Structure 1
C-alpha cells in the first residue's frame, strides 16, 4: 500500500493563495471500515472557494456554531475548517485496497465520493454534516490517493472519471431537486425551469430532458444560450434583457399556467422571479445562495408559498440511496454529464479555482489527476 501521496492542503483561509501543494503527504494505515482510492479526477464547487477565503483562522467556539454559514459583505462564509485539510469533495477514482470490514467495495472497483460519511443511506445531510465533510473537516479529493470511510463512496456509473467526478454535489443536488418528491417528479408534459449554466443547473437540465420534461433555461450570454439549446433546452431566456424572466417563463408553459419545478440556484437574487414562474401546486427547489437581493423588500417570505399556493423546498445534496438511484438513471438513459471545455491538470489547481471564481465556466470545472 502507498504510504504517501501528492496533495493540495489548506493551512489557512486567506484565499486561493492559501492552497499549497505537498509532494509527500502521508497516508496512514487503513482502518477496518476504510477504503484506499486512487483519485483519477476531481471537480470544484463554489463551496471550495468559500472555505478558502474566510480570511482568518477561527476558534473551536466558532467551529461549534449551528450552521457555520455567516454573511460578510453579502458573501457566505464557512469558518469551520481543519487547518492542513486537503480540499475538494467531488471525485472519482479506483479502489486500491479495503479494510477488513468493508463489504461494499473491492480492489479495482470504480467509485465516486459522497461528501458526507457515516450517515444512514436514507438520511439526508444537513449543514452540520456538510461542514464536517470532505474538503472542510475531512481530507478531500485534491490528492492522488486518499483514504475514505466506506460510507463516503458509491459505485461509479458507466462514465469517464471526468464525467463521474461531477456527480458528488451538483449531480446529486440536481437529482434531489427534481426527484426528491416522488409526487412532483418531472416527466412528459411537465416543465422545468433551470437558472444559469452552473453544475446544478446543467445536471438538472439533462435529468429533466431524459425524463421527458420541457426545459426552460436562463442565461445572460448568447454564447451560453446556444450551448443550452445544443443540449436540448426548449426555451432560453436572457435574464439581463428580460428582467421579468419569471413572467416570461410562465408565459412559455401550457396555457401560461406556470412551471412545475423551478431549480433555484441564486437564492435571494432569484427567488422573487422563481415565485412568478411557478405554477399553482408547483415546487421551487432552493438549491443555492449564490446571489444577493437588490431589493430587500422584494425578498420572498414563507407567506409567498401561501399566496402562490406552491411548495418551496430547501435542498442540500441528497442521500446515499438517492446517489444510487441517480447513477442507475444515468446508466439507463445514457446521460453524459457536461464538463467545461477547459480541463485543468493537478498542478493547475489554483488556476482552476480562479477560473471558477471568475465564472468563466460552463457546467463543471474539472481537474484531471491521472
Structure 2
C-alpha cells in the first residue's frame, strides 16, 4: 500500500511517499478499512513540522475515513461496505479522559491514516453520518468532535443561547453549524471581511473583524445589549483569552481549545473570578462524543465545509496551504 512517513527530524520536506506492506486480515474485534480520505488539523501540522516530536517513520494524520473491507470475529457494529470514520482517542470510549495523553492518538503516539489501508479495533472507528462521503466524514474526527464537546458535551448548549466562534477553521465552522442546529444566535470573528461574509451565508447572525475592532470583546457586549455571550469557542489561546473574558456573560462558558495566538501569556484571573466564568480546557473528545454528534447530524442534516483537496502524495503541499491561512473550512487529503 501507499503511505506517507515522516523522516526524523521532521519538516515538510521530510514527508516521504512510500510503499509499505498491506496489513493482514482483521483479528477478533478488528476491522480492515480501505481509507479514502483524511483532513488537516493544526495538530497534524505541528507533528509534520516537528513541533510535536514523533518516532522516525511515523505515519501522520489523525483523521481517516473509508469503507470496511473485512470484519473480524465478534464485530457487530460494522459490516463489509460500511463507511467508517476514525476516532481521535481510540482508547477513550466514554466517561472521563484517560491519563495516557497522546500515546494512542493516530499520527502522534501511534501511526495515523496517511495510508491506503489499516487494521484496527472496531472501537477505534464509528460509522459515518448518513449520506456523507469519505471526504466529508474525515472532517469529524478532530474538528467536529472538538466543537461538539466544547458546546454540547461540556457546555450543555441550549436553544436560544448565544455563541461566539473565532475564525474560519474547521472547529469554528462546525461550532457555527452546531449552534444554529440548536437554534442559537452566533457571533463570528475573523480578520477577513470576505471570510466574514461567507460565515454570514452559513448562518452567522453578527460579524466582527477583529483587526478593525481590536477590542472585540466590547463589541460583543454591545451586540448582546451589554450581557455578553453564553458560550465561546476559544481557538486563539493566550493571545485572545482576555478579549473572550470581556465578551462572556457573568457565569458564561469558555471552551479553551486552541493555541493559535500563543501558548502562554498573562491570564486575568481576577476577571474570571469576578464574572464567575467556567473556563474548561479540552482536547477533542471520546468515542461517545463522536457517536452523539453523528446521531445529531443525522437529524439536523448539516454538512461540513470543504476547502481545497490534495492527493495523498501531495500532503506537504496541503500543509503549506494550511500554513498560508487562506483556507476556509477543512482541507482534505484524498487517498
| Alignment of 1:208 onto 2:204 | no
- Give the 3 Å change call, closer, same or farther, for CA 48–29 of structure 1 in structure 2: same
In the alignment, structure 1 residue 345 sits paired with structure 2 residue 299: no
Show the 5 A alignment for 1:69-84. Answer: 77-79=51-53, 81-84=54-57
Q: Deviations over 1:44-88 (max 9, x none)?
A: 11111111223xxxxxxxxxxxxxxxxxxxxxx322x23222110
C-alpha distance in structure 1 between counterparts of 2:246 and 2:43, whole Å: 28
The equivalences for 1:181-196 within 5 A come to 181=154, 184-188=156-160, 190-196=161-167
Q: 1:242 to 1:293 in 2, by over 3 A?
A: farther
Within 1, Cα distance between the matches of 2:305 and 2:196? Answer: 15
Rounded to whole Å, the distance in 2 between the matches of 1:233 and 1:125 is 35
Q: Which residue of 1 aligns with 2:199?
A: 228
Are the structure 2 counterparts of residues 218 and 169 from structure 1 closer, same or farther at C-alpha, using a change threshold of 3 Å? same
Instruction: Report whether the alignment pairs 1:18 with 2:14.
Output: yes
Q: Decide whether the 8 Å contact of 2:25 with 2:32 is kept in 1.
A: no
CA contact (8 A) 2:162 2:186 kept: yes
Q: Structure 1 CA distance, aligned partners of 2:98 and 2:217?
A: 30
Q: Give the corresponding residue for 2:231.
A: 261
Contact 2:159 2:183 in 1 (8 A): yes
Counterpart check, 1:276 vs 2:249:
no
Q: Partner residue of 1:132? A: 104
For residues 187 and 117 of structure 1, do their structure 2 counterparts lie closer, same or farther at Cα, with a shift above 3 Å needed? Answer: same
The size of the alignment, in residue pairs, is 334
The offset of 1:303, in angstroms, is: 4.1
TM-score for both structures, normalised by structure 2: 0.95
Name the SS for the 2:260 alignment partner: coil
Correspondence 1:102 to 2:75 = yes
- Contact 2:88–2:285 (8 Å) recurs in 1: no
For residue 201 of structure 1, report the CA deviation from its aligned partner. 0.5
Is residue 154 from structure 1 mapped to residue 150 from structure 2 by the alignment? no
DSSP-derived class of the 2:64 partner: strand
Return the alpha-carbon distance in structure 2 between the equivalents of residues 6 and 251 of structure 1: 54
2:166–2:233 CA contact under 8 A, matched in 1? yes
Extract unaligned runs of 5+ from structure 1: 55-76
Shift of 1:175: 0.2
The equivalent position to 1:330 in structure 2, one of 289, 297, 302, is 297
Alpha-carbon contact 1:7-1:86 (below 8 Å) kept: yes
CA distance in 2, matches of 1:302, 1:112: 39
User: For the residues of structure 2 that align with 1:149 and 1:248, how far apart are their CA atoms?
Assistant: 48
User: In structure 2, what is the equivalent of residue 115 of structure 1?
Assistant: 88
Give the Cα separation in 2 of the matches to 1:30 and 1:301: 52
Q: Tell me the C-alpha RMSD between the 2 structures.
A: 1.7
Contact 1:250 1:258 in 2 (8 A): yes
Matches within 5 A, 1:244-323: 244-253=215-224, 255-292=225-262, 296=265, 299-323=266-290
Could you give the per-residue CA deviations for residues 123-164 of structure 1, whole angstroms, max 9, x where no partner exists?
Answer: 4356x4334310112221111111222221011112121111
For 1:58-97, list aligned pairs within 5 A. 77-79=51-53, 81-97=54-70
User: How far does the alpha carbon of each residue in 1:334-359 deviate from its partner, in whole angstroms, 9 at most, with x for none?
Assistant: 1111111x211222211111111221
How many angstroms does 1:32 deviate by?
2.0
Map of 2:323 onto structure 1: 357
Task: Provide the C-alpha distance between the structure 2 equivalents of 1:132 and 1:302, rounded to a whole number of angstroms.
Answer: 34
